[in-house]
Amino acid sequence: MKNMLEGIEEVLLMGPGPSCVPPEVYSALGRKTLGHLDPYFLRIMDELKGMLRAIMNTKNELTIPISGTGSAGMEASFVNLVEPGDRVLILINGVFGVRMREVASRLGANVDAIEFTWGTPVVPEVVGKRLKQETYRIVAVVHAETSTGVRNPVAEIGSLLKGSDTLYLVDTVTSLGGIEVRMDDWGIDALYSGTQKCLSCPPGLAPLSFSDKAMARLKGRRTKVPNWYLDLSLIASYWGKDRVYHHTAPVNMIYGLYQALLIILEEGLEKVFARHRQNHLLLVRGFDEMGLKMLVEEPYRLPMLNTVLCPGEVNELSLRRCLRSDYRIEIGGGLGPLAGKIWRVGLMGHTARKESVERLLSALRKLMG
């Protein structure tokens, strides 16, 4: 039988994720599998928690990778903190805010949303006005809206909630490891991410952290967490001192994430952020020279997710197909109301290099004349 895996070619991953994976991470994934309660593996887990805390800028004890992709992190955050009837406010300006609303409402939350135009950021003044009129158990927002390329003002929204009983839940799937995330300073209570974006590990884990305030909410629940697999009080017993078996940890993925975090911390967070920014500016300059326009206003742009308008005369999908087949480059298309109108170009983690930008711009120049 022919082995399909032998046909996998190297593709420059410049879409909205997954991003390119460094060779050291591939080697880490291929190391010998240890038992999930093996003493050496337990030490790897402990170090991994420390590295996650460093990259999230938090001291939270419960800082762990959830088994599953970014959406599992989203689901775990809501399922542990929401009880039926809880008032939840979601700030929406793209696909992932919409997904948060869906997840929270499936749990029986009483969900309100404030919607902002896609391609523009959440406006803290509007949120502040609502918070003067209403009280919520949770306020949730996406830091880096991958569907539009907008950076939301997470720190400013957090300062509106300081001193209140409201929990602040933030999605950092696309931001973590590419721009600064300061969980404790920004007053974030529940934060989750994904491995396949700026962390440059394959998809499969969702780093997550809960503050003491979030843990107190979890402990004080009137009802059981309605999802056994994502129940953080059970998962915490495995990742904490007791080491109580809950589910078999995806051991090799944890090696991969360990290595990916080590690479980032060895380069240094400031240098990593500067590299994302420099390559973003190089890309935007290249687009500008080609007459291509960015969707998002300059101050709100994300370095790791660049949304560029597709000119009317160009077939958005055919160009992406050509890039993949003739140049082995992947970029993304628009989602929802932006489908067919934009390209989403990722410069995430290991992809955020000058060679990637130059290779894409050169291919685009050839394809678009």
* Residue closer to ligand PLP, measured from CB, 48 or 170: 170
Number of Cβ within a 10 Å radius of residue 102: 12
Give yes or no for residue 174 binding ligand PLP (CB under 6 A). yes
Give yes or no for residue 203 binding ligand PLP (CB under 6 A). yes
CA 270/CA 180 separation, integer angstroms? 8
Give yes or no for residue 77 binding ligand PLP (CB under 6 A). no
Give yes or no for residue 261 binding ligand PLP (CB under 6 A). no
Give yes or no for residue 103 binding ligand PLP (CB under 6 A). no
- Nearest approach in angstroms of CB 302 to ligand PLP is 10
CA 66/CA 255 separation, integer angstroms? 14
Kindly write out the interface string for residues 124-163 of this chain, putting x where it contacts ligand PLP by CB under 6 A and - elsewhere.
Answer: ------------------x---x-----------------
Give yes or no for residue 96 binding ligand PLP (CB under 6 A). yes
CA 78/CA 106 separation, integer angstroms? 10
* Residue closer to ligand PLP, measured from CB, 148 or 279: 148
Complete DSSP assignment for 113-152: EEE--TTS---HHHHHHHHHH---SEEEEESEETTTTEEP
Select the residue interacting with ligand PLP from 58, 60, 67, 69 (CB under 6 A). Answer: 69
- Nearest approach in angstroms of CB 202 to ligand PLP is 11
C-alpha to C-alpha distances, 172 to 28, 144, 273, 325, nearest whole angstrom:
24, 7, 15, 32
Sign of the torsion formed by the C-alpha atoms of 294, 151, 100 and 114:
negative
For ligand PLP, the binding residues in 286-325 under the rule CB under 6 A are: none
Give yes or no for residue 19 binding ligand PLP (CB under 6 A). no
Closest CA to 160 of 126, 184, 190: 126
Position of minimal CB gap to ligand PLP: 70
Number of Cβ within a 10 Å radius of residue 118: 23
Q: Site residues (CB under 6 A) for ligand PLP?
A: 16-17, 69-71, 74, 96, 142, 146, 171, 173-174, 194, 203
